[in-house]
Amino acid sequence: MDGKAQSEGGKLWGGRFSADNDPIMEKFNKSIDFDKRMWREDIKGSKAYAISLSKASLITKDEVSSMLKGLDAVHDEWEAESFEIEQSDEDIHTANERRLSEIIGPEIAGKLHTGRSRNDQVVTDVRLWIRQELKTFSNLMKLLITSITERAKQDINALMPGYTHMQRAQPIRWSHWLMSYGSAFLRNWQSLIPLHAKINILPLGSGALAGNPFNIDREFLAKELGFNEISLNSLDATGNRDFIADVLFWLTQLSCQLSRFAEDLILYSTSEFGYVKLSDAYSTGSSLMPQKKNADGLELIRGKAGTIIGRCMGFMATMKGLPSTYNKDLQEDKIVLFDVCDAMQDVIQIASGIIATLTINPEKMKSALSFDMLATDVAYYLVRRGIAFRTAHNLAGQVVKAAETKGCSMDKLSLAELKNISPKFEEGASQIWNFENSVEQYAASGGTSRSSVLNQIAKVEKGVKADILI
């Protein structure tokens, strides 16, 4: 074999080739720069597979012992950041196997890959990596939700306008607004349970595509690696990346929720609203205008959502036309996955910090309340006195019109003027013009009364105490 053949023969796949790759192709083909972050998962999978080879009598007890000690040594080098990646290392699998061979010798190390393909190896690594990543996201979500519930309890008495169509609609508690996102984030956090179940399926033992011919005990592998079940079909197992799409969609949906959360707070922090003031820790200034305090943390959260949506859509576009089993296009999955996971970890932590450190201006919130926002309360007042809601709604509209005609707010209308619209208005009608009374009438579950909001907080706090991922 000539020098070039020996060069290509050094690769896991090189025996069939007689010439080196083009240098650009060599670089283009490599994934070690980004998939090296799965070194721990790759070693974990290899150790389990080595034991399964021993159980199948394909290697001796001495050989499996040597493999396990060698893999532990590789693990320690990565842990100590002393592992040296070489030019020939295409990916994390090649790098670890090459180093194992140097430590225990190629005769024993070369047996580790018996019946295993990088096709089933890489998808196993990715599932192991995501499984751990979901635990990180679970903890971060709990931090975010806890930040919201703590603020909701702290600021329970603050009243503010609630909005529809970006128009002031009805009075609500600031804490009720907070818990609208607390509820959404709890729902998102709880959806990690079915997502985790989709991840926790073992593909190892599927080979390149046709399966494993050496009577490998896949049930043992699943138990050893903590998977709940094994993949049903080897063709599907090596080409399936639906679980990555599921993770990307979960993160994309969360990013959209956080973007809406950020948009609200950006508006509320403007001088025009003035409801909240952001901590300096999550704000920046202007290079030209010294007076500016920009909500850059929130704006970046909002901006990241667009990038993450694009990443998710791009991955789906990559997947849509692939023929069955493994194709090299799937190397792109990890670039997208790692990028989105890294970004969203930052986003969640920034959002948690912002909500925990901002200050509110209850007086400014309350000053934004206006009596026209109590028009529905006028209708409810009449409903409680036996008038059908549609009729009461019409009468409340007449009250609004009467105030506009007189050029005053509704609370300035006299009882006589109200009685002229409906005789059902009585001496106690002035109680309508009380914002605290307004919010307290919404005592049904899910409403904005104090008791209802406190109940929401209690339920979310109880829900988030559980450890849903193990």
**Which residues are catalytically annotated?**
165, 286
| One-letter identity of residue 365 | M
Question: Contact at 8 Å (CB) between 123 and 41?
Answer: no
Reduced 3-state DSSP string for 138-194: HHHHHHHHHHHHHHHHHCCCCEEEEEECCEEEEEEEHHHHHHHHHHHHHHHHHCHHH
Question: Helix 242-268 crosses helix 118-154 at what angle (to 10 degrees)?
Answer: 30
What's the gap between Cα 115 and its chain centre?
Answer: 36
Question: Mind giving me the DSSP string for 8-48?
Answer: HHTSTTGGG--SPPPHHHHHHH--HHHHGGGHHHHHHHHHH
Strands (E), 344-428: 359-360
Distance between CA atoms of residues 436 and 458, nearest Å: 22
Distance between CA atoms of residues 310 and 330, nearest Å: 17
Distance between CA atoms of residues 208 and 68, nearest Å: 24
Helices (H) and strands (E) in the chain, counts: 21, 6
Question: Contact at 8 Å (CB) between 315 and 308?
Answer: no
| One-letter identity of residue 247 | V
Question: Contact at 8 Å (CB) between 62 and 86?
Answer: no
| One-letter identity of residue 284 | T
Cα distances (angstroms) measured from residue 44 to each of 68, 96, 166, 296, 298: 10, 11, 53, 41, 39
**If you ran DSSP here, which 8-state letter would residue 444 be given?**
S
**Cβ burial, residue 441 (10 Å; 0-12/13-18/19+):** middle
